[in-house]
Copies of this chain bind each other. A is one copy, B any other.
Amino acid sequence: MAINKRDKFEKQEIELADFAKAIGHPARIAILKVLAQKDICICREIVKVMPLAQSTVSQHLKELRKAGLITGTIDGVKSCYCINRTTFNKFSEKFNQFFNKTKTVLYKINCC
């Protein structure tokens, strides 16, 4: 009954799944898009363009921060959030590797 089997999987599988999970909610995709594409980084501005309560946005920001995808720095009363390029690049690379490896191997074997 909902026992956690997390550590029965390979490190790479857990890592990839965790990253996928971090972006596995439309709000978090939307936040990343806002941070990248618009001239917005102050929390209040993010909240303004999001169809969610402030506390909920804060929670999603926390998730993204936990995954290392964004960094948050306090500037007076305001909080400034930015995409963490290093982590973002690292993980986009890992995803690419996973996709490419899967595609390459699939090209060889073919059972159904």
Contacts and interface: CB of A to CB of B under 8 A. Distances in A.
- By secondary structure, the A interface counts as helix
A111 B80 contact: yes
Interface string A56-87: 00000000000000010100000011110100
A13 B95 CA distance: 18
Size class of the A contact interface (CB-based, 8 Å):
35 or more
A83 B51 CA distance: 35
Contacts of A18: 24
A29 B52 CA distance: 30
Given A80-B112, A96-B96, A103-B88, A13 B36 contact: no
B102 A33 contact: yes
Contacts of A13: 26, 29-30, 33
